[in-house]
Structure 1
Amino acid sequence: MESQRNLLLIGLLFVSFLIYQQWEKDHNPQPVQTEQVASTTQNSQTDVPSESGQASNVKVQAGQSHGQLITVKSDVLALTIDTYGGDIVKAELLQYAKTEKNSSPVELLDVNGKHQYSARSGLIGGNFGQARPLYHVAKTDFSLASGQNEIQVPLTATNANGVVFTKIITLKKGSYNVAVDYKVDNASTAPISVKMFGELKQNTIKAKGGFFGHPNYRGGAYSSAEHRYEKYTFSDMKDGDLNANTRGGWVAMLQQYFAAAWIPPQNGNNILYSHSGNGFARIGFISAPKTIEPGQSATLSSSAWIGPELQDKMAAVAPHLDLTVNYGWLWFISQPLFKFLKFLHSLVGNWGVAIILITLIVKGVMYPLTRAQYTSMAKMRLLQPKMKALRERYADDRQKQSQAMMELYKKEKVNPLGGCLPIALQMPIFIALYWAFLGSVELRHAPFMLWIHDLSAQDPYYILPVLMGASMFMIQRMSPTAVADPMQQKIMQFMPVAFTVFFLFFPSGLVLYWLVSNCVTLAQQTLIYRELERKGLHSRDKKEKN
């Protein structure tokens, strides 16, 4: 009976977790007056951050280019830059296909189409005009040549006072971290003070997907001295603007598997801000001011991560940037588990095989607890007649009944929680692996074998979920129960069916983990029961039931 109750407990905990996850997703589904640096002939209105980090209430024609478009291409990134403001208005991730069947690269940023998304940056201050500069560039097409490790794109503009602004965008080979630097040459007769800003802007279209097995957060996040990592949803932005002063830090816009982030200077103070309005959400930073004397020059530096959520590389770019990988509230377990999974993959070269190996290792480590669980369950079943007698004897006195039960447990050296504790300890590990499988871009479009071509997608023929349900049914059959209530029996019989239906829509990598885990449980259960039979414990249990 304890085995059946534990199985029901697992089901209830797991379904409760899924329901909570869906509830959290449903309840958590800017302008910057930028670059006041140059007086140009552009008449269109734009939006730029003020000195306080709050956005001015001016209109912007999203998706419309005001200048010339130039393309910059490395081996992993293809960027489109608008010379009006020097913003990144399109970004393609060349190593990542849109879908398994569509080999076109993922477009993380794009100001055209239904979902408008861009990475803007510029300078504030200097008592210049409100318009953004129209930069000049030597050519319109830049590509990383063979043998090159990086490519630089210099954009230049000069204001009416003779101050020269050079915006330098640098792409490095194999890197998704884009350096954005400003060199300011003050050829005027007065000192100037400038600040740098960077922001991510997108319209607040709700992300697709997000049903139980496929959580898909789309929204903001930031890191500061007070918060290593904090989500800032579109709803949060609508309710109130972010306004945080911090040393270092970063801001980001996230979605499943991919992220865009601005990383300001880490050795200075920055303002992190957000704004929501007119169907758009913005999150950005403003750096500390820098004063440049006449005849002097200065450089202000930042970078933008535009790419997949690769934890090791993101951690090297900025502190805690790797936390943008959506590992849920058990991230401190998910992270080391995934690192170990990644290590196993480096040995075998197949993510599916790595999942099988980590399942075997986790179940092996948990074997002492599993053994204790089944031993405790067997002992508890042996005590059922005595426990029943005590309940009948002290039916009218709950306190004496509890005392008699505790004395019985102590005498027989049985822990009544021995069957539940191992389950409680294993659930966090399962949930952590669940998030690791769903949040790791490395598993996106990763093949296993035969018909499984994408471990992050559901099994197209539902073979793994059916096998998982069958293995769960076999575990039930091997765990005899004393449940006599017909309703409880029906509930227990329905559990494998319910789980099979749930897992039809889960990523095949997660179903593979659960299937292998069930198979190992069956093997362990058989070994444990044989050991108990040799000791005479399990056989006596069977005789008492008969």
Structure 2
Amino acid sequence: MKEDNRNLLLAITLSVVVLLGWQYFYGVPQAEKQKQIAQQNQQAQSTPLPGQAVPAPGTAPGQPASAPGTAAPAALTAETREQALARSPRIRIETPKIQGSISLTGARIDDVSLKAYRETVSADSPNIVLLSPLGGPNPYYSDFGWVAGPGSNVALPNATTLWTADAQILRPGTPLTLSHDNGQGLIFKRVITIDDNAMFTIRDDVENRSGAPVTLFPYGQVVRQGKPPTLGYYVLHEGMIGNLGEQGLQEYTYDHVDKEPLLAPGTHGKVWKDAVGGFVGITDKYWAAAVVPDQARKYEGRYSSVQTGSQRTYQADFLAEPVTIAAGASGGVQARLFAGAKEVAAIDGYEKTLGIKRFELLIDWGWFYFITKPMFYVMDWIYKHVGNFGIAILVVTLLLKGLFFPLASKSYASMAKMKAVQPEMMAIRERYADDKMKQQQALMELYKTQKINPIAGCWPVLLQIPVFFALYKILFVTIEMRHAPFFGWIRDLAAPDPTSIFNLFGLLPFAVPAFLLIGAWPILMGITMFVQMKMNPEPPDPVQKMMFTWMPVFFTFLLGSFPAGLVIYWTWNNLLSILQQGYIMRKHGAKIELFDNLKGMFGKKPAVAAAVPAPGKPANSNKK
């Protein structure tokens, strides 16, 4: 029995350690940190910040450089976002999902806001701003262009080039054509189209009237000045992201890029050569900007950072293989830019319809990808029929309970048998009270005869852990769960329950610190966990008994800062387990110990079945 106790304690301890580690590394009260980030973003929109120049350009294809583009503009003066936008003539962008503008100076896509998403759950909260122009707060933009070969002095469009446009607005189904004549016989044309979501298609063509062939290297890049506020959770990747052909997924945090070797004076970064297919970009928790090269051409992908004044500038770019345009001919390439919310249906749709290699990895599905993504699909399908992600979580939990019912049935059946032979177990302990070795051997023989697995009850809990992590990941990273309401006071399933028992759930007029946010749902979870544990016989070992008694309290505080959707799942799962366990125990004739255990807690000891006496020893031998 000692070995069985050790195994049981080990299983419980490992479960607690995993959840504690998860909470320590990933579940630090995110509501407080997200609130701070939202405040910083709001302040950034209203407070002017010093504008910075973009990093120095690359000198030649294939050589380490800060950017594959051309000459950088001079440093700009401090401006508000509105002032920075007004500095250049612009073409308006309007789609069902995004709005913004393209700067005709440099042909930059540097103004994108997300129509469907706001900073908070409030209906009058500002829309999320994704891309912003140079000179204003938090510059973040994308551009495309050409780099000349080594030793070439051909004049190419750069950051200060003023392009001409054939329209005043870019809409789905209405392309925009930009033009520039370099005065040396090269006519540059850029046709930009956009779909109903957030995918730009950029077709760059060059007409060569110079009388001599010209070789150019196409590039695309996403540039971000200053390190943005991040949540800093290990479970969530924020920073550079890309799938670079056969070299696969490459995720680098901002700090990681800063620590990479020098590519050029002042420029740190990493380069991947000869990639085919994929994308490179910069991702936040819920949105991203990523450039997509021609999926059939080789390219060089790169993440880099360079110090610009008091800030660092980060960028992800590609430099594709050269295009040679003969005299009197035209040539060009096509690339794409995604700048929007990481909606699962849209991201998966682009991978399928546009053939972007592993574009789905723009969403961080995590280690349990094989569980997380299918679970999301099921949950999303249910949501489309019931209209509430909280209800979808309840239905998925019910389906999982049905899936694991055979295993749970065996587990509870084993526990019921354990209860049935408890008098014999007590007799064995009395009979071999002074010989632990024989006691253990006798107990093991009893388990073998009765076909009992003493740790079978742990399996349902252990199997819940990967499901728990997968659901946590869904709630944490999928934008579909962001600001998704349930009922009552739960207005965001991805945020912790906002109530707290320490101010009587809002009845007392004072705010509660984040670490004391023990809301109504975590308390309900603790109660259901307590009831579930009390349905079983009390463990004979005092240490086990203490652990089982205090575990619901421990988990109540632990899950208080977890997303409300996860706590709702755990509570509902416990309730279903109680019903399931009660049914199976009655089916096998095992007594449900709930009420006796509750009586024992309040000083009324339940009647204990008489122990089976040892052979040759009368049942009343202890009486004087």
**Structure 2 equivalent of residue 29 of structure 1:** none
Normalising by structure 1, report the TM-score.
Answer: 0.84
Deviates more, 1:511-520 or 1:455-464: 455-464
1:490-512 C-alpha deviation (Å, 9 max, x unpaired): 44433222322233322222221
1:421 aligns with 2:476: no
1:435 aligns with 2:473: yes
Shift of 1:286: 1.0
Contact 2:522 2:559 in 1 (8 A): yes
1:248 aligns with 2:271: no
**Structure 2 equivalent of residue 77 of structure 1:** 98
Contact 2:217 2:322 in 1 (8 A): yes
1:12 aligns with 2:2: no
Alpha-carbon distance in 1 for matches of 2:173, 2:252: 33
**Structure 1 equivalent of residue 110 of structure 2:** 89
Aligned 1:118-157 pairs, distance under 5 A: 118-125=141-148, 127=152, 128-129=154-155, 132=158, 134-138=161-165, 141-142=168-169, 144=171, 149-157=172-180
Shift of 1:391: 8.0
**Structure 1 residues 55 and 526: CA distance shift in structure 2, 3 A:** same
Aligned 1:349-498 pairs, distance under 5 A: 349-380=387-418, 382=421, 384-385=425-426, 388=429, 395=436, 408-461=446-499, 462-485=519-542, 489-498=545-554
**Structure 2 equivalent of residue 543 of structure 1:** 609
Contact 1:207 1:218 in 2 (8 A): no
1:226 aligns with 2:264: no
Segments of structure 1 that go 5 or more residues without pairing to the other structure are 26-43
Contact 1:67 1:134 in 2 (8 A): no
Contact 2:187 2:206 in 1 (8 A): yes
Residue type matched to 1:52 in 2?
G
**Structure 1 residues 536 and 75: CA distance shift in structure 2, 3 A:** closer
Shift of 1:294: 0.8
Residue type matched to 2:114 in 1?
L
**Structure 1 equivalent of residue 203 of structure 2:** 181
Alpha-carbon distance in 2 for matches of 1:113, 1:450: 40
Contact 2:105 2:163 in 1 (8 A): no
Residue type matched to 2:377 in 1?
K
Contact 2:382 2:392 in 1 (8 A): yes
1:347 aligns with 2:369: no
Contact 1:390 1:404 in 2 (8 A): no
Alpha-carbon distance in 2 for matches of 1:86, 1:195: 18
**Structure 1 residues 445 and 469: CA distance shift in structure 2, 3 A:** same
Shift of 1:385: 3.8
1:162 aligns with 2:185: yes
**Structure 1 equivalent of residue 334 of structure 2:** 301
Alpha-carbon distance in 1 for matches of 2:97, 2:63: 33
1:87-114 C-alpha deviation (Å, 9 max, x unpaired): 2112111121222114422111124655
Larger relative contact order (Cα-Cα within 8 Å, sequence gap ≥ 6): 1
Segments of structure 2 that go 5 or more residues without pairing to the other structure are 31-52, 78-83, 261-268, 351-355, 500-518, 597-606, 613-624
1:252-280 C-alpha deviation (Å, 9 max, x unpaired): 21111111111100011111111112112
Contact 1:63 1:116 in 2 (8 A): no
Alpha-carbon distance in 1 for matches of 2:442, 2:327: 90
Contact 2:99 2:114 in 1 (8 A): yes
Aligned 1:522-541 pairs, distance under 5 A: 522-533=578-589
Shift of 1:364: 1.6
Alpha-carbon distance in 2 for matches of 1:254, 1:424: 33
Residue type matched to 1:107 in 2?
V
State the number of aligned residues: 517
Of 561, 572, 576, the residue aligned with 1:520 is: 576
Normalising by structure 2, report the TM-score.
Answer: 0.74
Of 566, 581, 589, the residue aligned with 1:510 is: 566
Residue type matched to 2:113 in 1?
E
1:54 aligns with 2:120: no
Of 130, 134, 143, the residue aligned with 1:108 is: 130
**Structure 1 residues 45 and 522: CA distance shift in structure 2, 3 A:** closer
Contact 1:378 1:537 in 2 (8 A): no
Alpha-carbon distance in 2 for matches of 1:515, 1:113: 47
Alpha-carbon distance in 2 for matches of 1:446, 1:264: 34
**Structure 1 residues 336 and 251: CA distance shift in structure 2, 3 A:** same
Contact 1:158 1:165 in 2 (8 A): yes
Alpha-carbon distance in 2 for matches of 1:216, 1:18: 13
1:184-214 C-alpha deviation (Å, 9 max, x unpaired): 11111111111211111223535344569xx
**Structure 1 equivalent of residue 259 of structure 2:** 239
Residue type matched to 2:225 in 1?
N
Shift of 1:544: 6.5
Shift of 1:314: 1.6
Residue type matched to 2:413 in 1?
T
1:307-365 C-alpha deviation (Å, 9 max, x unpaired): 11122322332221112212221112100110011111122122111111111111121
**Structure 1 residues 22 and 280: CA distance shift in structure 2, 3 A:** farther
Alpha-carbon distance in 2 for matches of 1:389, 1:242: 69
Deviates more, 1:304-313 or 1:135-144: 135-144
Contact 2:97 2:116 in 1 (8 A): yes
Residue type matched to 2:180 in 1?
A
Residue type matched to 2:581 in 1?
Q
Shift of 1:393: 6.9
**Structure 1 equivalent of residue 89 of structure 2:** 68
What is the percentage of aligned positions where both structures have the same residue? 27
**Structure 1 residues 364 and 503: CA distance shift in structure 2, 3 A:** same
Contact 2:582 2:592 in 1 (8 A): no
Residue type matched to 1:78 in 2?
Q
Alpha-carbon distance in 2 for matches of 1:45, 1:95: 31
Residue type matched to 1:360 in 2?
L
Shift of 1:434: 1.2
Alpha-carbon distance in 2 for matches of 1:323, 1:470: 39
Q: Secondary structure in 1 aligned to 2:470?
A: helix
Contact 1:47 1:59 in 2 (8 A): yes
Larger Rg: 2
Q: Secondary structure in 1 aligned to 2:183?
A: coil
Residue type matched to 1:232 in 2?
Y
Shift of 1:71: 2.5
Q: Secondary structure in 2 aligned to 1:236?
A: helix
Please give the root-mean-square deviation of Cα atoms over the aligned residues, in Å.
Answer: 3.5
Deviates more, 1:383-392 or 1:90-99: 383-392
Alpha-carbon distance in 1 for matches of 2:611, 2:328: 96
